Amino acid sequence: MPLPRTVRAERRTVQRVGRRTEAAPATNWTRLITVVAALTVLTRLPSFVRTPWNPDEGFLATQARQLANGGVLYETVVDRKPPLVPWLYRAAFAVFGDDSLWPVRVAAILAVLVGAVLAASMAARRWGERAAWVAGICYVFLAVGLDPEDTQAATFEVFMLPWTVAAMWCAERSRWFVAGLAVAGAVLTKQTGGAVLLPVCVVLWQLRAGWTALLGVGIGTALPILGTALAFGPGRFLYWIATGSGAYLSADGSGLKPLLRALGGLGLLTLAALPLVVALVRAVRQRRTGGHPYPAICPGRRAPLDGTADVWLWLAASLAAATVGLQFFGHYFLQLVPPLALLGAAALHELTARAATAALAGTAVLACGYVGWGFTAGRDELDHAHRLADTVRSYTDREDRVLLWGMHPEGYWLSRRAPASRYLTAGFLTNFSGGRGEARVGERYAMEGAWTHFERDLRRRKPELVVDDSRGKEYGVRRTPTLRRHLGRHYEKVATIDGSEFYLRTGP
């Protein structure tokens, strides 16, 4: 009597894992989790020494306050991102207050820890206990392997990564519907998290799980996304997370700046993973020649990286996702961390214990350098944001609305003043982006209908103070006719601080 398909799939999974682990000893999970948790806290200590780290944190904090005061996401509170992280900030502020970001910084530590432990579990299932330790520890070290503004902030990629690892973890265990739910969680955290669906489907194909499993992944992925779309209105939801960002995702006319940013981000992450990359290159070369890097020490062992096609595809899909829009902000490359940690664990698994320890120690030393960078990073932008917020408070009362015309919305949160418009940065209205520079900037490149909504906002919620924080950039008030005319009719310039110009309302 033939076995049911699910039983046959599970048996193939067990056989596949058994070949990989070669009867490896059980992992001491209590000890591993304790060590990984301690390393996660230590590597993320710099996140607590400054607030905020980058404009995304200021944007999310301001959004959370607006939501708490009755704002409606994608209507009076807008962004190009899915809703999970704004909801997380809103929940943290509801419980702990909205004067500090330490609650979301703690949540970021937990997110890194969850991702690292799931990656360690995947490595243990494939290659055994030592690989589990390497994968978990390297995940933590690589998660700080970029500019501190990109790694120490509690923003979208940090919370997206555990979902992607969970999707692969569930797929390996033939939990197809839950794997789909994890894919949906990644998508609803940041759109590019959906790239993990490709390696999940590869695992499904490798296990020959069949159409029922594929249906389970599809339903698990679709249900939360469709439910969220229906909750906000399908057209509005689709516009804000996809169709409304056409000009923003174009790199026309931006020259070499995106390429240089990409090389910078990849270079920093490659440096952080340098011992792992060296081991990977050596392992790949040995595999191509059909040999083993240590044949006398490991006779009869399989070539390194056997059975890692799904992880390589995961790495490739993550790299492709990081290129969407050709913006190449450093934090985009955090998406490469989980597959890179697993591939590093696979490569180090084939080394002698001494060589693997040396490689891991080298990775730890590099991580210490990045953590030290976090403690010593320049504070010029942050100091400017605090001076701007102090000036805003000096010209306004607590109930007044203000308009910060710039790309640093943290000024709203730091000054405790509500924004006059649903658009928290000038990027929505001019298409300016720090990742692309001055290309395709101006009112004509704004999101469709944005200026109509913007002018309506200014009539309904007249800002007491307008701050031109462009500081000479192409999107400044002098190059924005509609806003320039509005200021000329109703405002007068009262101060200039660090290049930012302050306009106080004089008329109705």
pLDDT one-digit tens code per residue, 413-467: 999 999 999 999 999 999 998 777 677 889 998 998 999 999 999 999 999 999 9
pLDDT for residue 328: 83
| Residues linked to residue 500 through DSSP beta bridges, in sequence order | 497
Other beta carbons within 10 Å of 231: 11
* Residue 255 pLDDT class (50, 70, 90 cuts): low
Adjacency order of strands within the sheet including 500-505: 418-419, 401-405, 465-468, 500-505, 491-497
**Exposed e or buried b per residue across 125-163, where buried means at least 16 C-beta atoms within 10 angstroms of its C-beta:** bbbbbbbbbbbbbbbbbbbbbbbbbbbbbbbbbbbbbbb
* Residue 1 pLDDT class (50, 70, 90 cuts): very low
% of the chain beyond a pLDDT of 70: 89
* Paired sense of beta strands 465-468 and 401-405, if any: parallel
pLDDT for residue 302: 45
Give the lowest-confidence range in 261-265, 308-312, 417-421: 261-265
**Given a cut of 80, is residue 26 above it in pLDDT?**
no
**Which phi and psi (to 5°) does residue 452 adopt?**
-60, -50
Tokens of 330: 């450093």
Average pLDDT across the chain, whole number = 89
Is the Cβ–Cβ distance between 187 and 193 less than 8 Å? yes
Within 13 Å, how many C-alpha atoms sit on residue 62's CB side?
Answer: 32
Instruction: Name which residue leads in pLDDT, 152 or 301.
Output: 152
**Residue bearing tokens 């591993």:** 32
pLDDT for residue 352: 84
Distance CA 75, CA 108 (A): 27
Query: What one-letter code names the amino acid at 140?
Result: V
Is the Cβ–Cβ distance between 417 and 393 less than 8 Å? yes
Tokens of 199: 């390696």
**Given a cut of 60, is residue 18 above it in pLDDT?**
no
User: Nearest to residue 438, comparing CAs of 243, 246, 256?
Assistant: 256
Which residues neighbour 129 within 8 Å (Cβ) at sequence distance 6 or greater? 24, 25, 26, 27, 28
**Given a cut of 50, is residue 282 above it in pLDDT?**
yes
pLDDT for residue 290: 56
Give the lowest-confidence range in 250-254, 363-367, 390-394, 459-463: 250-254
| Residues linked to residue 504 through DSSP beta bridges, in sequence order | 465, 492
User: Nearest to residue 337, comparing CAs of 220, 193, 435, 189?
Assistant: 193
**Given a cut of 60, is residue 49 above it in pLDDT?**
yes
pLDDT for residue 56: 94
Mean predicted confidence (pLDDT) in 189-213: 95
pLDDT for residue 251: 61
**Given a cut of 50, is residue 268 above it in pLDDT?**
yes
% of the chain beyond a pLDDT of 90: 76
Distance CA 246, CA 239 (A): 10
Give the lowest-confidence range in 10-19, 354-363, 387-396, 453-462: 10-19
Query: What is the value of pTM for the model shown?
Result: 0.90
**Given a cut of 50, is residue 357 above it in pLDDT?**
yes
Tokens of 127: 């290659």
* Burial (Cβ within 10 Å: 0-12, 13-18, ≥19) of residue 381: middle
**Given a cut of 80, is residue 8 above it in pLDDT?**
no
Tokens of 296: 């006398």
Mean predicted confidence (pLDDT) in 329-338: 94
* Residue 23 pLDDT class (50, 70, 90 cuts): very low
| Residues linked to residue 495 through DSSP beta bridges, in sequence order | 502
